[in-house]
Each structure stands twice: as C-alpha cells, then as structure tokens.
Chain A
Amino acid sequence: MTAQPIYGLMAQFDTPTDLVHAAKAAYDDGYRKMDTYTPYPLEEAAEAIGVHHNRVPLVCLVGAMLGMIGGYSLEYWVSAISYPLNVGGKPFHSWPAFIPVTFECAVLGASLAVVFGMLALNGLPQPYHPVFNVPSFTGATTDKFFLCIESQDPRFSIGETKRFLEGQHPLEVAEVPY
C-alpha cells in the first residue's frame, strides 16, 4: 500500500475502439473492479468489463403489474361496485372496455418504476465521485474515453496496474486521488 490511498488508476483513450480493447484486456488479465466513462452510451465497453445483469427489468415488470392491477381494479370498482351504469345493455363488468385503461396504467407504472428504479440502483443522485479529481476527466463529456481500474480490486497494485494500462496505448494514465 502507498502512504496516500488512491481511488484507482485511470487511462484516457482517444477512440472507443481503443477503450474497448483495453477494457477487454483488463478483464482477461483478471481485473474486475473497474469502470468505463464515455461521452455517449457504449454498450460494447460495458460488455467488455463483464457488466453484471441488473435488476431494472424486474423493477419494470413489478411496476407494470402494479399499474395493470391498479388500473383494472379502479375500473372494476367504479363501473361494477361504486356507480354501476347501464351502457348499451352491456354487463357492468365489461372487461374489453377496461383494457385501454389497464394498458395505459401498466405503461405508466412501468415507466415510473423504470426511471426511479434505475436512478436508485445507480446510486443517483451522487454529489461526489473521485474520478472528477483528475483534471483531464472533463474530456469524458466531449470526446475522450476513460477506463478506471479501482484500488479495491484484489489484483490491483500501483506499479503493475500502471504498466498494464500504459501498454494499452492510452493518451495518459493518471492516479485518481480520493
């Protein structure tokens, strides 16, 4: 361990292809605790670092189910229990007529669940993150691609990890202080 603990080592790349190659190499080398930072969503980079399955789809399904059940129950309660009206001689519990509202409520439930579930699972809002301590990290919002290997990784050692990252044709490799 160094005297001053650091968050990790971050390499900066010029193209998405370089980043994906470096991320794949890092994964093959045994690194697991790492993350990529790109100006736009780059699915191949997420796959390269062995991104885990997340629980957003499950949250979405639960939201949709709740919306569906809620929408249908509301219609049933209104039309068949609370205020039954004879519409064109149809039964009070006319399920075909309830489908549009049920569908819309399922969509509403799913979208609310997905937005807030995604934010919660991502740990957002997050007012502080150590990678912003590297001055050149501002490039992550315009045209630079970053791979940060975190010091929490069991495979991490400052000398060896630095040599590894420098072998991946980065523009620079920077230490990320806490």
Chain B
Amino acid sequence: MSAAGLRISPQDYAPPPAIGRMGRNSLVVGVVAWVALVVCAFIFPHGWLLFLRSWLCAFLFWLGMTLGSLVLLMLQYTSGGNWGRVGRRFWEAAASLTPLMFLCWIPIAIWMKELYPWAAMPHDQAVKELGQKAIIYLTTFGFWFRGIIYFLGWYGLYLFLRRWSDREEAGVTTPAQFVRVQNVSGAGIVFYAATITFASIDWAMSLDPQWWSTVWGMIFMVGEVLTAFCFTIWLVVKLAPIEPISKMFKIDYLHDFGKLMFAFVILWAYVSFSQWLIIWSGNELLEIRWYVMRLRDGWQYIGTSLIFVHFCFPFALLLSRSLKRQGKRIVKIALLLLVMRFIDLFWFTAPSFYGESFQAKFGGTDVAMYVLAPIALGGIWLWAFFFQLSKRSLMPVNDPHFVEMLEAKHG
C-alpha cells in the first residue's frame, strides 16, 4: 500500500456512529448515578457531608484523567513517536474538559469549611496551630485565587495547542510553527509540574494541614498520567477494530501504550514507596502519624491492597510481551488499574476525615457515596468527552508523519 501521491483528508477519518452511542450510554449511566447520589445525599444522615467528601475524591480522579491527557498531549509534541499521533485526538478531547473540571471544583471551594480543618478553624487558632502556613498559604482567598490560576493556565495551554491543531487540520501550518508548539509544550509540562504540586497540596494534602511530604506532587503527577494511559488503552481497544481507525491501526501502538502504562505502574510504586520509606526511616511524630492512621483499624487492608493490586499483580502480568499485544487482556489490566487509581486517592484522602477508626465510622452509606460519586461525575465527563471527540477527525491526517504510519513499520 503505497501512500505516495495519495491525498488523505480528515473526512477519511471521520468519527464513527459508535462514538455517539458510547456518549449516550455514558450519559444514561451518569444521570442514573446522579439521581441515586442526590437521593442518598438527602436521606442518609450527614448525607451532605458524605457527598462533599466523596465528591472531592471523584473530582481528584477525573481531574487526573483530564490533566493526564493534557500532559500526554504536550509530551507527544516534544517527544514525537507514532503512539502520540494515535492518541492525540483523544487527549485533545479529554483536555478540553478542563472547564467542566473547574465547575466540579467550585462546590469544593464554596464548602471548603466542611472539608478542610484549616478553613474551619478560627483564624487565631489556625495561626497558633499551623503558624506561618495559615497566614500566607492556607487561606480562603489563597485557595480560590490559586485554584483559578491553575485552571486558567491549564485551559490556556489546551487552547493554544488546540488552535494549532485546528490550523493543521485545515492544512495551513508550517514547520516553523511546529517548533513553537514543541517549545510551548515543553514549557507547559514544567508549568503543569509546578501547578499540580501546589494543587495537590491545596486540595488533598491540606486535609491534614500539619502533615507534609515533599514527593506528594510527584505522586499525583505520576498517578494522573497513569490514569490517562489506562483510559487511552480502553479507548484504543474499543475503537481500533471499527472504521476508520481500523484502516491504519497496528497492534504495535497498543503495545507502545501497554509499555508506557507499565512504566508508569513502576513509577507510581517508586514514588509511593519513596514517600513511605523516607517517613518510615525518619519516624518523626508529625510525619509518621499520617501513615499510622492509614495502617490500622481496617485502613491497612486498603493500603496493603494497593501494594499488591496496584503494583505487584499488574507488574507481573505486564512483563509479558504477548499480553501487551492482546487488546482483550490488556484492557482488563487497564480497567483494574483505573479502579486502583480511585482507591489510591481514597486511601490518601478519606482517613483524614474518618480519623483512626475505619470499621466503626465507615459504613454502608459511606461506601454507597464513594461508589456513586465517581460514576456520576464520570458519566457526565465521558458524555462530554465523546461529544468533543465526535466533532473532529479521529487522526491527525495532516501531520507530516501520518503518511509514514500507513507504511510498513519503521523501527
């Protein structure tokens, strides 16, 4: 199949009707979960509080999907590689949902007093207990102000890359402009690393305002990119057998995504273990408290499951080359890892609310809320995602390297 002289247009890779169907299904699931979630929030004792707590966890999970995709979008512009061209439209659609995540963040900011102890404390007590932190960083104004800056920055990066991508689709870009896109992407990754560090401190670490960990932001970064890779694998396995992607898809792309997911599983274990090793070695009262709380009264089962199901099990399976090339099998690992991503965030955040007794305080109502919230948010997120995906071609056919992707594989 020689592509020389053959003009491929974006219409050749128009989205199939299956995408509209997936969007509708997501919406149905989302709406049902929303109804159940709202009913639960009204009838359960402390329903509203439970809603906010589970909503924070669901928000952090789907924020990871959105921002992880934004990072992959920037990363593939700087690194190149065919895997990046396969995933580009998916990540553009996911990153375009940053405003949706901003809307989801607003209730957290409005009711921060219900979630964050530092926000609920009277100012004098906060200064006494937290010192400088409470004066210059953990303030209501600071929380709002920084949050808005993060979202503006992330959405700005997306808009820049999207405008360029639309111009490429129209066929009016030059190689010199591409260098600019690469430079902005490189700077964008640095911006993301800085902002997600602060954001993860604001939104998750400050649930326990006296505790700190310097690798915290890194754990969030790695987790978010891992989430995005798992999501991409699920999408690729769903869409690759259908036209139009089936026209150009090679199993090597799935293999590449599998390898990258594998790498991020290891990286997640590396940074999570580093945090624990450092705090365990130091054994300082203020630091170790955070882990002690998470390693007793029932929480230890969740922590241990993270070691085995988030790392050991997928690690052992993903070592296999042939498994990474079988869609049906690798998608199961990707979905398992997505569940574990949520449980990881749950284990990071929830013990701060429930204190030291998991068994006594964490009951069926809490489980129901923590299951419903990510599904409710996710249904809406996926519906919006598939809507964004259905508006454009599924492959960047005007990318200078796209024609090569139709040839036999080059190295």
Contact = CB atoms under 8 A, between A and B. Distances in A.
A17 B407 contact: yes
A167 interface: no
Given A97-B281, A99-B277, A100-B277, A17 B408 contact: yes
Interface string B1-19: 1100000000000000000
B281 A44 contact: no
Given A17-B407, A40-B411, A57 B283 contact: no
Interface in B395-411: 407-411
Interface string A96-126: 1101100000000000000000000000000
Given A17-B2, A43-B252, A97 B277 contact: yes
A41 B1 CA distance: 20
Given A57-B321, A97-B277, A16 B408 contact: yes
Interface in B232-275: 252, 273
Contacts of A15: 407
Contacts of A135: none
Contacts of B280: 96
A133 B253 CA distance: 38
Given A17-B2, A57-B321, A88-B283, A42 B277 contact: no
Given A17-B2, A88-B281, A44 B273 contact: no
A45 B402 CA distance: 21
Contacts of A17: 1-2, 407-408
Q: Is the interface of A mostly helix, strand, loop or mixed?
A: helix
Contacts of A45: 408
A43 B276 CA distance: 41
B277 A96 contact: yes
Interface string B65-87: 00000000000000000000000
Interface size class of A (residues with CB under 8 A): 10 to 19
Nearest to B274: A100
Interface in B122-157: none
Interface in B303-329: 319, 321
Interface string A15-31: 11101100000000000
Nearest to B1: A17
A42 B410 contact: yes
A20 B281 contact: no
Interface string A119-149: 0000000000000000000000000000000
Q: What size tier do the contact residues of chain B reach?
A: 10 to 19
A97 to B, nearest CB: 7
Contacts of B281: 88, 96-97
Interface centre among B276, B408, B409 (most CB of A within 10 A): B408
Q: Which of B276, B277, B409 has the most CB of A within 10 A?
A: B409
B73 to A, nearest CB: 26
B102 to A, nearest CB: 40
Contact of B411 (A20, A41, A96): A41
B276 A42 contact: no
A40 B276 CA distance: 43
A82 B178 CA distance: 60
Interface string A76-98: 00000000000010100000110
Contacts of B252: 43
B252 to A, nearest CB: 7
Nearest to A43: B409
Contacts of B1: 17
Interface in B359-411: 407-411
Nearest to A48: B408
A19 B2 CA distance: 13
Interface string B274-308: 00110011010000000000000000000000000
Contacts of B276: 96
Nearest to B250: A44
Given A17-B2, A97-B277, A99-B273, A40 B410 contact: yes
21 contacts: A15-B407, A16-B407, A16-B408, A16-B409, A16-B410, A17-B1, A17-B2, A17-B408, A42-B408, A42-B411, A43-B411, A44-B408, A44-B409, A57-B321, A88-B283, A90-B283, A96-B280, A97-B277, A97-B281, A99-B273, A99-B277
Given A16-B407, A57-B319, A96-B281, 19 more contacts: A16-B408, A16-B409, A16-B410, A17-B1, A17-B407, A17-B408, A19-B408, A40-B410, A41-B411, A42-B408, A42-B410, A43-B411, A45-B408, A61-B319, A90-B283, A96-B277, A96-B280, A97-B281, A99-B277
Chain A to chain B: the 6 pairs with minimum beta-carbon distance, closest first: A20-B408, A17-B408, A40-B411, A16-B408, A44-B409, A44-B408
